[in-house]
Structure 1
């Protein structure tokens, strides 16, 4: 079956218009900011929307040829107008808060779209410009202008809403990723601060022993090498077993005993099952260091009690108590240990943890409660 001249002209125009429009549209998309949706999703959206309209109006008029031709004209006006709005008008005017210019350009665009659509329908589709209307309606009548304009605004608004929603989701995801990266970077920085902080304190101990020409210096070096494995390698993991942390706390206590001898009196108590509990590495060791900083100055004995408790498999409770030299309260060089841990707790647990440090009867007390994850 051969096509009549009018139909042939329609499809010739449609083919040329499609090629030019597609090239322009994809240039807009390629040079735009924000989330770039893959081209296949653009095609799926427009193809699906076209199919729905084609079936709807074909069924309504019982004339699928008319529905095909009219929708081809309308959609290939919808598409450039929609992308022009999304990728040019919004970035050019709305985002720069030039709303009067945006409104003027949008109204002019809708006016041009109405004229082009109406003339193409009259030229290529039908002389009955508005067959779904009651009675005979003419082109460029008020009602026809309003109806066509509302239809165009509906399509543009729908596509714009989808694009802005996708941009918002992409921006939110990007911000979340940046926030996580910032969190990891800060945690890594805080952790890296603890490592030299710990070695600085331990090397101080070694320094005192070498000045005294103590035979214990070699033992300190050996014990230090064991702990280095933890501080340099194990801490690379985001979490380690609580039992491992306790083992290294005991190793640190051994180091302090090598320096202070029988002066150190410590006890570790464990309540509940802690085998499967994991915590961030180097989270508790600064508290133990702090105990010696508080308790070893001008004291004949360093008393240290450490307590771990699994509270209903929901929270880990850590307590540390040591004798306290009140002269330390005036010492301005308090180090970075405790503040470092407090910041890490804020980053890791937000408002789901509690940390209290206080002095009661010349005893320094630490109470930490964190969730078991």
Structure 2
């Protein structure tokens, strides 16, 4: 039996990585009473200084804004919290248009008469000429000015609402992703133990004195599974160590009927990988290859780490049909589909490449993964 796995033996079991769910929450976007007060205070001060400077009359500017701003605020909040939710969001655009125009007209009369009786009889000092009644030009100018205020504040509200909704959806996606990844990783452990217990069962049937060694290897695997699979990333060294333990278990089981050729190259220092991601590929070779083969079985595994990428090349002979195989076979596999799903959820598309195919009477698996 070929054996090129001595490089595995010096790998350590170190690594300290934060759980995926412990990342800080997304920034919250909420408009509070404080924000309303600050906004209208700044806007009022700006408008008062602006028109006071324009007319060279700050007393008039202050009084006119004290009349105008309650109207601005009433119309703005009426639009944001009543008209839009009941008409715009429900696509009742015609009714919304009628009501907003009616509101602007009501505002027009309220502003004209309040200014006339409480501030000055010259209600339109910035106009081309003094007016004594509501004119068409005055109406258009006042309604456009009011519409500007309403549109400006509404745009702010819509933007903040969109940011809040986007943040909420992003947080929900992250939680869903984390939940699904946890579920997929939880599938790995029982599936893996199920297959390993079958190995021990096969040895006990043969009354093999290697059973204690298998139990020891299994305990090492259990330790890895307990402390690694609940984390998003694990040390690549630890993952390879776990992979080696699994291969050792299978080598004990199949003895001389199995030929394994393993090569490991590259620097794994500081590299990380999703835990239990590589084992399903190797496990699949035994599950669908060696366990269904009567004759000599060949598996070739090469792992190479270059820069920030891991390259895995795995080959195994396509199994022959066995009419009488006393070694228990396994069913209900979730390995490869599980790995594909975990790659999709846990890595960006540009961070991995997976190819699985049949060629020259062998199964070929190629994985390129950012580590």
| TM-score when normalising by structure 2 | 0.86
User: What is aligned with 1:235?
Assistant: 229
The CA deviation at 1:115 is 1.2
Higher RCO structure, 1 or 2 (CA under 8 Å, sep 6+): 2
The CA deviation at 1:36 is 4.0
Q: 2:347 aligns with which of 326, 338, 349?
A: 349
SS in 2 for 1:128: coil
- Contact kept, 8 Å, 2:217 with 2:245, in 1: the verdict is yes
1:80-95 → structure 2 map (5 Å cutoff): 80-95=74-89
- In 1, the alpha carbon distance for the partners of 2:257 and 2:236 equals 27
- In 2, the alpha carbon distance for the partners of 1:299 and 1:239 equals 38
Aligned length: 336
Instruction: Return the structure number with greater helix share.
Output: 1
1:32-51 → structure 2 map (5 Å cutoff): 36-51=30-45
- Contact kept, 8 Å, 2:289 with 2:316, in 1: the verdict is yes
User: What is aligned with 1:26?
Assistant: none
The CA deviation at 1:216 is 2.2
The CA deviation at 1:98 is 1.7
User: What is aligned with 1:159?
Assistant: 153
- Contact kept, 8 Å, 1:138 with 1:144, in 2: the verdict is no
Please tell me whether residue 186 in structure 1 is matched to residue 180 in structure 2.
yes
- Contact kept, 8 Å, 1:129 with 1:139, in 2: the verdict is no
CA deviations over 1:68-117 (Å, ceiling 9, x no partner): 11011111110111011001110011111222221221111111111111
The CA deviation at 1:333 is 5.0
SS in 2 for 1:305: strand
Q: Aligned-pair RMSD on alpha carbons?
A: 2.0
Which sections of structure 1, spanning at least 5 residues, go unmatched? Answer: 1-33
CA deviations over 1:305-357 (Å, ceiling 9, x no partner): 2222223x2422111122221549xx995711001101111112242221111
Please tell me whether residue 318 in structure 1 is matched to residue 312 in structure 2.
yes
- Contact kept, 8 Å, 1:355 with 1:367, in 2: the verdict is yes
| TM-score when normalising by structure 1 | 0.85
- In 2, the alpha carbon distance for the partners of 1:109 and 1:41 equals 25
SS in 1 for 2:349: coil
- Contact kept, 8 Å, 1:195 with 1:232, in 2: the verdict is no
Which sections of structure 2, spanning at least 5 residues, go unmatched? Answer: 1-27, 323-328
User: What is aligned with 1:18?
Assistant: none
CA deviations over 1:285-305 (Å, ceiling 9, x no partner): 101101112331224333322
